[in-house]
Amino acid sequence: MSARLNVNIDHVATVRQARRAPEPSVVAAAMMCEQAGADGITIHLRGDRRHIIDNDLHALRQVVTTYLNVEMAATEEMLKIALDTLPDAVTLVAENPDEITTEGGLDVRSNLSVVRAAVSRFREANIISSLFIDPDPQQIEAAHEAGAQQVELCTAEYADATLGARANHTEGAMRAAQELRRLREAATLAKQYGLHVAAGHGLTYRNVGAVAAIAEIQEFNIGHNIVSRSIFIGLADAVREMREAIERQG
């Protein structure tokens, strides 16, 4: 059985926010993704509201029929929003106001008490708690100590090594193989701790197969590449193509 695919629709909202216009609708995008075979919808509600805004979350909670995963920082503001809207899952992420996109995994080890408290509140509300972390054994151990139910392994380093000309150079290929090994070992360790394992960040149709071949990875959260591809072939077909790329596994 292939891993689940949650489609991140943040960048549908990015296009809308460029003009502060009503379109494109993230609700329509979510419904189309579900109809095309997505197993869930992922959004990131950032502190600066650069794409997804509060109204989007409330609207999506009403219409998403599969699985709604909300990425957010572990701030009191965000925790209150999550507990008010009750998504199916919350993924805690590191967040820097000046970053273009999420730059790496959450340092759970250094923020253990904060993360543990947030996870406890989510679990009391029957919200699945997930932590977006680098594929590092210490972070996986800390995620387990915090009581999380899932980790999402950051695939940014692997994805970067597979981009463009770098993928065809010996150095790039070696780096990609090294990062793939890190992901495989991290997924195995997380599974041993009883954690569900997801993965995401920077994955594309061209590089997702090797990660999907890691049996312990049960879920992918992919957005930018799907939305980019949708410009040329439409959103439904873009979702189907990614679904097929995951199922091919390499």
- d(CA 212, CA 216) in angstroms, rounded, equals 9
- d(CA 138, CA 112) in angstroms, rounded, equals 12
State which amino acid sits at residue 152: E
Which of 144, 201, 216, 219 is labelled catalytic? 201
Which of 44, 51, 144, 196 is labelled catalytic? 44
For 1, 23, 133, the CA distances from 27, given in Å and listed in that order, are 29, 10, 28
DSSP state of 7: E
- For residue 239, what are the contacts with CB-CB under 8 A and spacing of at least 6? 5, 7, 32, 33, 36, 37, 38, 226
Active-site residue flag, 201:
yes
Active-site residue flag, 71:
yes
Q: Tokens for 35?
A: 């109809």
Which of 34, 71, 95, 157 is labelled catalytic? 71
For 98, 102, 151, 191, 205, the CA distances from 106, given in Å and listed in that order, are 16, 10, 10, 19, 26
Half-sphere exposure of 209 (CA within 13 A, CB side): 9
Active-site residue flag, 44:
yes
- d(CA 209, CA 3) in angstroms, rounded, equals 11
- d(CA 195, CA 143) in angstroms, rounded, equals 9
Cis peptide before 24 (omega within 30 of 0): yes
Active site residues: 44, 71, 201
